[in-house]
Structure 1
């Protein structure tokens, strides 16, 4: 799933997040005994369509046609226990990433929709969910059958930092853990401030960056309306494709040569590797190619390049690659802390290498400084 609209709200370093949560400096405490989960009171949430959705009690069985939602729900809940159904695309991603190690059940969760997001109502009804998560901006065809079946459904939009924080808040309310959700959001704000301050302190020229989908069908660049723009803005990077119309734009080798990006981030949704792109004769002469600064975006609990509970890690990954040897971060340590906090799982060295795709990025310049 690609992102859609630019975000303006700040986002997260776990070191700052943990400082907030342990010292009580501006963050909300963990869910209290008075949360709806404990009292059993009815809960009403307002989704991104503006519709009010009322639940008799905190949702215990959630079916989601929306691909990234379950991993974010699991971060708020600290478990996969409430996830009853998922999208086929998410199941495929789960089999590739560390989520299969954190929550083994995530690769056995029933599929309730495919890549077209059309709900499989027979499967959904068989799961008896008390909440269904669906796109709210893709038309009635994908959401009306769920409502007609009498099931509570929240309609979502996606693509910006604001959307991510809205999801966290909405899911926290829906499962009776609003304080936990608020804590994660506060941590994101603290981390974004930290990343921006560290970049500003470098007083360095803005590196030219390109977020690129590279497939047999062609190449597409992330433009100023993609989540990549938020990340590049936060990390002081010039998005060479910012002014191209559309969320993602088909680009030619000649255009990339003209832009001359200094580093390229490849989509985690595509099979292309840095080695393959760096060997493309059509891109010869591009600075990023000549300097071997081409990198495959990580796949953690979910793909880092789109808004997720792990987004603060992506911001730090981008900053470290944009300013090699200058931006100081121990990314493996930060990953270990954040995954432990969000998912109660201790990463191994093997896990870290899997997330960062050190196998694919090993020959790219300066990657050891990020991954080690």
Structure 2
């Protein structure tokens, strides 16, 4: 009898240990567990989130490439690189507590440039918000993709392989060039941008070109003037296809630059080397950023 009681007690203890050390139970989403997000905050998330809301175009690119759209209840309002998957989601929300409550998410994914007040309000309403650190390099972007894939229990193998294939293409195109590195400017409706420490600056290292904005000492959030563009005298100017602003600002255009009398002495203008690149790709920090790099490499090296 004592032996039987001992066995029963042992079994009970094992069960308690498993239950006590495992994820906690919730009423509707099954098991949960705690994770530390990119800002060091501990967040309780479902082990398999099924009502995900990714906020920001790059977040949507990543999430909708990792999981089936049926697990995503809403997306943001800015165009992304996965329109077909986004169309299956249908619902659009803003990064506010009121907007989020309307779709009852079990996980909200946001970059750390989202307003801390907005994040705080959502968390005060018991909405699980996971904040990731915005990447500024290709390698950091890969790390964020891997981070989100782990959170969603999804495989990022194909996404990373696709990025690596793009980088190999860029390297092959750049290595065929002989002579000095061309000077490349990234120019938007706000002026010369993409300075030192920006995502574009990291792209130029793979492209093996000189970043005009960084050469002038501009930082990641600086906007140079038209006079700065003239001073930089780039061999090539890259402009994004769309202006992502809410004030109706129109994007810079090739026609606008080519017809500007003050720019006629700039090498890129004189040689007709202003190229349009897909905004959704070149301004992203998702797997699609390397697609923009291939496009730029093809334009820069005439391939």
Residues 296-322 of structure 1: per-residue CA shift (max 9 Å, x gap): 2215xx333322222221111111111
- The whole-number CA distance in structure 1 between the counterparts of 2:144 and 2:187 is 26
- Is residue 291 from structure 1 mapped to residue 271 from structure 2 by the alignment? yes
- The whole-number CA distance in structure 1 between the counterparts of 2:118 and 2:289 is 28
The answer for the alignment partner of 2:76 in structure 1 is 87
The answer for the alignment partner of 1:251 in structure 2 is 224
- The whole-number CA distance in structure 2 between the counterparts of 1:146 and 1:166 is 26
- The whole-number CA distance in structure 2 between the counterparts of 1:125 and 1:102 is 22
The answer for the alignment partner of 1:347 in structure 2 is none
- Is residue 268 from structure 1 mapped to residue 241 from structure 2 by the alignment? yes
Structure 1 residues 56 and 99: alpha-carbon distance in aligned structure 2, compared to 1, 3 A threshold:
closer
Secondary structure of the residue that 2:127 maps to in structure 1?
coil
Return the offset for 1:82: 2.6
Unpaired runs of at least 5, structure 1? 1-39, 114-118, 326-372
The answer for the alignment partner of 1:223 in structure 2 is 195
Return the offset for 1:236: 0.5
Identify the structure with bigger relative contact order (alpha carbons < 8 Å, sequence gap 6+): 1
Secondary structure of the residue that 2:237 maps to in structure 1?
strand
Structure 1 residues 228 and 286: alpha-carbon distance in aligned structure 2, compared to 1, 3 A threshold:
same
Q: Is the 8 A contact 1:135 1:157 kept in 2?
A: yes
Secondary structure of the residue that 2:156 maps to in structure 1?
helix
Return the offset for 1:105: 3.3
Structure 1 residues 247 and 205: alpha-carbon distance in aligned structure 2, compared to 1, 3 A threshold:
same
Return the offset for 1:235: 0.8
Secondary structure of the residue that 1:72 maps to in structure 2?
helix
Unpaired runs of at least 5, structure 2? 1-29, 244-250
Structure 1 residues 101 and 154: alpha-carbon distance in aligned structure 2, compared to 1, 3 A threshold:
closer
- Is residue 237 from structure 1 mapped to residue 182 from structure 2 by the alignment? no
- The whole-number CA distance in structure 2 between the counterparts of 1:278 and 1:105 is 41
| 1:168 alignment partner, one of 145, 149, 153 | 145
The answer for the alignment partner of 1:7 in structure 2 is none
Q: Is the 8 A contact 1:135 1:142 kept in 2?
A: no
The answer for the alignment partner of 1:64 in structure 2 is 54
Secondary structure of the residue that 1:87 maps to in structure 2?
coil
Residues 258-305 of structure 1: per-residue CA shift (max 9 Å, x gap): 211111111234222211221111211111111211122215xx3333
- The whole-number CA distance in structure 2 between the counterparts of 1:69 and 1:318 is 23
Structure 1 residues 268 and 45: alpha-carbon distance in aligned structure 2, compared to 1, 3 A threshold:
farther
- The whole-number CA distance in structure 1 between the counterparts of 2:158 and 2:85 is 22
Structure 1 residues 42 and 266: alpha-carbon distance in aligned structure 2, compared to 1, 3 A threshold:
same
| 1:105 alignment partner, one of 84, 88, 99 | 88
The answer for the alignment partner of 2:22 in structure 1 is none
Q: Is the 8 A contact 2:167 2:206 kept in 1?
A: yes
Structure 1 residues 275 and 159: alpha-carbon distance in aligned structure 2, compared to 1, 3 A threshold:
farther
| 1:318 alignment partner, one of 279, 296, 303 | 296
Report the aligned-residue RMSD: 2.5
The answer for the alignment partner of 1:51 in structure 2 is 41
- The whole-number CA distance in structure 2 between the counterparts of 1:308 and 1:70 is 9
Structure 1 residues 288 and 248: alpha-carbon distance in aligned structure 2, compared to 1, 3 A threshold:
farther
- The whole-number CA distance in structure 2 between the counterparts of 1:254 and 1:279 is 16
- The whole-number CA distance in structure 1 between the counterparts of 2:48 and 2:179 is 48
Which of the two has higher C-alpha Rg? 2
Secondary structure of the residue that 2:281 maps to in structure 1?
coil
Return the offset for 1:155: 1.0
Return the offset for 1:101: 4.4
Structure 1 residues 164 and 221: alpha-carbon distance in aligned structure 2, compared to 1, 3 A threshold:
same
